[in-house]
Structure 1
Amino acid sequence: MISLASFRSCASSCTRPQLRQLATAASSSASAAESEPLTHYRITLRRSAISLPKNIKGTLEALGIHRRLQTVYHRHSPDIAGKILTVKELVAVENVPASAVRTKLEQRLERKAPRGYVVTGSKLHAEP
């Protein structure tokens, strides 16, 4: 997806056809995202719950959030929406399609560094 910042930075230096291409790319990616219905909330804890009342901490626990910057996914439902409203100052919420939902294991594997190493050259087998 094309961000507004990249569009603005290109606005002064790009030619009209390049701007038109950026605009059509942004609209096509937006229409592709609209084709799949948004069925889940992506909830990320942005602020700590230290020294907050027990009911706020209990709400975060009910949502399944235990630490800062942890992300959980929940289906759209009235009870989840109410819990989000209770802790709205602490969390960041996005609506995402079902294809964007990740399990805890999938999130961990996405963060994990690639295993092993790659040999890019060797002095032993170098050609003079």
Structure 2
Amino acid sequence: MMNRRLFSSSTRAAADFYKITLKRSSIGLPQDIKAAAKTLGLVRLQQTSYKPVNASNAGLILKLKEIVQVQLVDHIPTAQEIAATKPSKGYTIVGSKI
């Protein structure tokens, strides 16, 4: 359970980031909602962007609350951290039945 509020204005939350993922398409939605998604850096489905916790980003997230997923994270992961969480490419042979 999260003890911190999602849109907090405390100094402790000022160092945190929003991890924002676009879950639904903005096709057919008004232009202001499409512009808000583009402002947050979200163009394609399942695309993720990291934004600092502040009032302007919170307002944009509230405008898109039905089509995005938001999480609070402590830091922006590096490319090495992202690569470490992905499974290896290809396949491995575990055993032989011959």
After superposition, the C-alpha distances for 1:95-118 in whole angstroms (9 at most, x for unaligned) are 1112xx2357854x3575414554
The normalised TM-score by structure 2 is 0.67
Report the counterpart of residue 76 of structure 1 in structure 2.
53
1:88 to 65, 74, 80: 65
8 A contact 1:65–1:71 mirrored in 2:
yes
Name the Cα RMSD after superposition.
3.0
The normalised TM-score by structure 1 is 0.53
Q: Is residue 58 from structure 1 mapped to residue 35 from structure 2 by the alignment?
A: yes
Between the two proteins, the alignment pairs up a number of residues equal to 87
Runs of 4+ in 1 over 2 A off after TM superposition: 101-107, 109-113, 115-123
User: Which secondary structure does the structure 1 equivalent of 2:46 belong to?
Assistant: coil
Higher helix share: 1
Pick the structure with greater CA Rg: 1
Q: Identity of counterpart residues, as a percentage?
A: 40
RCO higher in structure (CA 8 A, sep ≥6): 2
Structure 1, unmatched stretches of 5+, are 4-29, 31-36, 124-128
Report the counterpart of residue 97 of structure 1 in structure 2.
74
Q: Is residue 42 from structure 1 mapped to residue 19 from structure 2 by the alignment?
A: yes
Q: Match of 2:68, as an amino acid?
A: V
Q: Distance in 2 between matches of 1:59 and 1:44?
A: 13
8 A contact 1:44–1:91 mirrored in 2:
yes
